[in-house]
Amino acid sequence: MPPGPPVDTNPEDQETSATLSADLKASCLNLRSEIDTYQSLLASTLRNPQLVEARQFRSNVNSELKMLEKLERQMESATQRDDAQKGEGVKRFDLDLEVEKRLLHALRSSNLPFYQSVWDIAKGTCSGLTALGKRFYWDDELQSQPKAAKKKGAKKSDGVAGQGEKQPNKDKRNSVFVDIVSDDGAEWVKVSTVTQDRLLFEMAKNCWQWEPDSDDEEGEDIKVEDRVLHMNRRTRNMYGDDGDDKLELIRLAVDLRKAADATLVGYKHPRIRVVLPRIEQGNVPEIDDIIEEMRSWGMDVDCKKSLQLTTHSGLEHLLPHPFKKFTSTLNVDCTLLLAMVSDLSHFKDIPPEPHFHRAILRQIEVEKQKPLLLTELWPAMGDRKLVCTKEAAGRMREIVETIGTETEKTRTQIMMGDSSYGQLDHTAMLQKFQELSDYEVPTEWKFPIIVVDAQSTFESNSTRGRLPSVEQELAKELSDINYSVFMYGWFNDLTTISSNRTINKQIESTVEKHRNGDSSLKGPKIWICDTARSLVGKDKDRKA
């Protein structure tokens, strides 16, 4: 994580390096403890805790602690040396003062207040964290567009979902570092601890000031929006300029806008929020102009007075919430139908067999750490109604009948409501299914899964009349089964759950390629499970 700007401090005369060091060290230890608590919470609740990028932030805080401990040792060494010299009658007042000034300067230059601000803002204003520090990139062609095309609301060239992620050979100069990624990726938060005096100094250094046009009447009060319009023209002229005559905050706003325009989360660009905890709006008109200029680039700007931190009893609100936007009915892909009946998902102890495919051996080891049903699938499904297309159900039955074990075949019959099982009530079906699982099956899990006819939906005139033209492109690219599954969910505005990450990326890419400037276009609602499960009955030579 790049360091925040040095914190300007006006300490009281009585402040010493010893007291400041003690305060900073105590704060650092407390901050590290809270982050450790959060990481422990991630490890105990998430199937893959690494999906939340917090390790680097913790490492940065730990580096600050090591720096403080090093300065503490230097102070102890200086004190011992001074005591020895005083015992010898040597006067070291001037040298003592110089050492004290140097230590105070080092302590006041600590980035700990910045990291503390980031953590406090995350705790008090965010939920659903996916990263505490992440770099996002944009493509070179964005810079070559006309300036008007870069402004918010203007049309951009076709992009590709995930474009903001790190790619091979990406130029770091075409990137921006975001301090907090929250709302499950939908919001970016950038924190700047710049002070009013520091910002005014930078403005003066860069000759950044609003001057009325020559035809303005002398002494006439100029409206804020007129000053902002004038500054907008200045910024437009400097957009893409390699020179240094741009304010840091304006450069930051421009870079955030470019990176957000190159990144998509659920077919939407992330929201941007810049937090200035040491700036008060309404005190200095020139600074207010800078803030309004930043907002004109399509982002929220929170200042000291407008920043409201909420106190929470714990850190659970910071956990990702991937299921919060699920529809009340879920459309289940074939990959997860198989996972729900696999012996790998239900038996805790499956001895490795010589004929097991290496993928099955990997899945057995993964299951020992984080059981898929307990940690991901059952929480995702909850008490929602479950449906699947005829094509998905047919493919799943074909695979089970071909290579499934007897227990996998029986689970399939119960889950899909086959033969005599379909006549049982939910409680009886639950009991039958429980007999085939080492895990407690949640009572709210709704099965049998309802099989739907996707083709009748596709042939409906009312349905086809409201579909975007990109659907025709997807029809050319997707296999029959994938088209039936993912398009059924799209046509009926349902969340489709799957582990087919490749198809999901293909759909996202096709939608973006054929967006044609339509910023409102959205593709299917798809949730991708972190991993899949094979059937135990696979032969060694079969593909996993």
**What is the value of pTM for the model shown?**
0.81
Helix (H) or strand (E) holding 271: strand 271-276
So what's the pLDDT on residue 2? 47
Residue 254 within any structural domain of the chain: no
In this structure, is residue 267 part of a structural domain? no
* pLDDT tens profile 407-446: 999 999 999 999 888 889 999 999 999 999 999 999 999 9
CA 126 to chain centre: 11
Separation of alpha carbons 51 and 439, rounded Å = 25
Query: How would residue 86 be classed by pLDDT, with cut points 50, 70 and 90?
Result: low
Hey, CA dihedral for 286, 287, 291, 294, is it positive or negative?
positive
pLDDT in tens, 144-163: 443 333 443 443 333 334 44
pLDDT, average across residues 237-251: 62
Q: Looking at residues 529-535, what average pLDDT do you find?
A: 88
- Residue numbers of the domain that contains 55: 17-82+94-124
The β-bridge partners of 176 are: 136
Place 355 in a pLDDT band, splitting at 50, 70 and 90: confident
Residue 538 lies in a domain: no
Q: How many CB atoms lie within 10 A of CB 535?
A: 23
Token pair recorded at residue 302: 């929170």
Judge whether 434 and 415 are in contact, CB under 8 Å.
Answer: no
Q: Which of 78-87, 181-190, 211-220, 347-356 has the highest mean pLDDT?
A: 181-190
- Asked if the bond preceding 468 is cis, omega within 30° of 0, the reply is no
- Please say if the pLDDT value at position 372 is more than 60: yes
Residue 52 maps to a domain: yes
- Look at residue 354 and tell me if it is in a domain: yes
Structurally, the chain folds into a number of domains equal to 2
Calpha distance 308→318 (Å, rounded) = 17
- CA dihedral over 415, 419, 420, 424, signed as positive or negative: positive
Q: What is the pLDDT of residues 447-487, one digit of tens each?
A: 999 999 999 888 875 556 667 888 889 999 999 999 999 99
What does the CA dihedral 399, 404, 410, 413 come to, rounded to 10 degrees? Answer: 0
388 part of a folded domain:
yes
Indicate whether 129 belongs to any domain: no
The amino acid sitting at 383 is D
Evaluate whether residue 373 is within a structural domain: yes
Higher pLDDT, 244 or 37: 37
